[in-house]
A and B are shown apart, each in its own frame.
Chain A
Amino acid sequence: MNGRFVRPNPLPGFGPAFGVTLAWVALIVLIPLTALALRPWSLGITGVLASLESPRVLAALKLSFGASLAAAAINVPLGLLVAWVLVRGRFPGRQLADALVDLPFALPTAVAGIALTTLYAPNGWIGGLVAPFGIDLAYAMPGIMVALVFAGLPYVVRTVQPVLMDLPAEVEEVAATLGARPPQILVRVVLPAILPALLTGFGMAFARAVGEYGSVIFIAGNMPGLTEIAPLLIVIRLEQFDYAGAAVLALAMLMLSFTMLGAVNLLQQRLARRAR
């Protein structure tokens, strides 16, 4: 350390780049989040706690985080499968399938929600198949899961895909010639190499699902305590002009997400180190 905050870097243009980065991150991320973190305390610490501990709030938080974890967990094996097929498979229309994976990124969430609801409602193509058996897809838990899995899928596929591509098919072939059976190849050769990427994908899919509002709102049913997600509760508080109460919930969600993503990152770093 020579008394400067940033040590001189031989890279050309590092100084300005660092400055712009810092300013940009502050403007786009840090300042809004700081404002959010400061907002609730006008209620006092007891007010903040009181506005969090109602059964309805707890139910919404449990639903949002539980369903998001479950959706991310479903997306990991399915996303891996899709990525593996896209990387290793050679079939007509592969590039089209590859492009389709990105659609959930691009589609406005409301459009996704309406499309999924149309399909899964009791009078929809898929919902209509199971409705005679008394099974509700839309306006119930399964509907929420479908929307969250839909939103999270590309995150897993797109993080795993490049790593799979870098993993030469020869590695799998060599393992086979050394006598490994297919399940052994998967568990002992392929999985260790892509596990860090899978974890990143899991984290991103989870984060996206927690924040998802637009599509879930159409398919969830939104019944208090049953199918009401936490972001809707935030909107409801805003409708009551209860800005501080909304900020309390937002902050709680932010902290929970931050902790969970932090844990995922830590685990991923440890894995990456061990792999080396």
Chain B
Amino acid sequence: MNKRMALKSAAAALLLTITIGSRPAAAQDSLLNVSYDPTRELYREVNRVFPAVWQKQTGRSIAVNTSHGGSGAQARAVLDGLQADVVTLALASDIDALATRGLVAKDWQTRLPEGSTPYTSTIVFLVRSGNPKAIRDWPDLVRSGVRVITPNPKTSGGARWNYLAALGWALRQPGGTEATGEAYLRRLFAQVPVLDTGARGATNTFVQRGLGDVLLAWENEALLSREELGADRFEIVYPSVTIRADPPVAVVDAVADKRGSRAPAEAFLRFLYSPEGQEIAARHHFRPRDPVVAARYEQKFPPVPTFGIELFGGWPEAQARHFAEGGVFDQVTTPAH
């Protein structure tokens, strides 16, 4: 009796699993966009506007969902089987990781304009109101008594941009070499009291806990913090030169082909480049690529001299040299013996 009941319930459970698991994949009326943390507000609006555009183009309805998290963790989730139709991440190297494992075509960066980066941002300093420590440029960060808040480049995509921005400035100084760059980084990280695991965590440490004199942040995060917390509490300082951070986007080919969602997935990414999409990006503090939209937001995004990831030989090289196990970041943060 008992045995039969157990068997029956096991069979029922199995049947249920199979029915749920094998729902037809034909319904491509939804898209999953796997993104990183600071794009929450941006994609909330894009997801609201894009379905209307798609409806007008094709007469079909579509729902877009977005999941957010640390860029690396999100890439890993897709690697482990999260069915993302598109990824919109913080670093090209995270999409490269998907490409190495065959989920995204190797040439993903050439499939969309501007190296598949529809919007850009940059790394700026957020300081407390009145700038009490008079922080104007990179050398001020390593003055004694200045405490710098930046997350851990190992766990945060944004922190990797911070790190490379600092290194790039040092390299471009007269007489700058790899050695002087690393010396600057060593001094810089000696001023960091807390290494949060993500960009939002670092923002909280700086804003809510009152720790540190300057926060290295994405420009979009800095603008958002000021908007949310009041412009009278913080100031944004643009250093003499900084990095152009370009967060990339791509269709996840393996998933899009399996689910039959390639058309809406590609349309979704192209929408980000359209004047309407660019306008939304600019409103949510990302620098637009479109010159017409950019002109409208000149006040918000002051021109600042930048260098790109090319200075470090591209992402694969920067990743291997600086952020791999035992790389330059590990070396400059190990206490000298």
Contact = CB atoms under 8 A, between A and B. Distances in A.
A91 B192 CA distance: 48
Interface string A115-128: 00110011110000
Contact of B73 (A55, A138, A237, A239): A239
Contacts of B210: 121-123
Contacts of A239: 70, 72-73, 76, 154-155
B325 A237 contact: yes
Interface stretch (A66-74, A95-103, A168-176, A219-227): A219-227
B152 interface: yes
Contact of B152 (A20, A56, A222, A245): A222
Contact of B324 (A13, A20, A56, A240): A240
B211 A241 contact: no
A164 interface: no
Nearest to A13: B2
Nearest to B79: A241
Nearest to A219: B194
Interface residues of B, number: 31
Contacts of B72: 238-241
B3 A122 contact: no
A236 interface: yes
A35 to B, nearest CB: 13
Interface residues of A, number: 33
What DSSP secondary structure best describes chain B's contact surface? Answer: loop
B194 A139 contact: yes
Contacts of B326: 54
B325 A245 contact: yes
A221 to B, nearest CB: 5
Contacts of A20: 6
Interface string B301-337: 0000000000000000000000111100010011100
A189 B144 CA distance: 60
A221 B147 CA distance: 13
A92 B217 CA distance: 51
A238 B192 CA distance: 23
A241 B97 contact: yes
A225 B335 CA distance: 8
A124 B209 CA distance: 8
A276 B283 CA distance: 74
Interface in A118-163: 118, 121-124, 138-139
14 contacts: A117-B209, A118-B208, A121-B210, A123-B210, A217-B197, A221-B194, A224-B334, A225-B333, A232-B197, A236-B154, A238-B72, A238-B73, A240-B323, A241-B79
Given A222-B152, A236-B154, 12 more contacts: A15-B3, A16-B2, A16-B3, A122-B211, A123-B211, A217-B197, A221-B194, A222-B194, A223-B193, A236-B152, A239-B155, A241-B79
The 7 closest A-B pairs by CB, nearest first: A123-B210, A239-B72, A121-B209, A236-B154, A222-B195, A221-B194, A224-B333
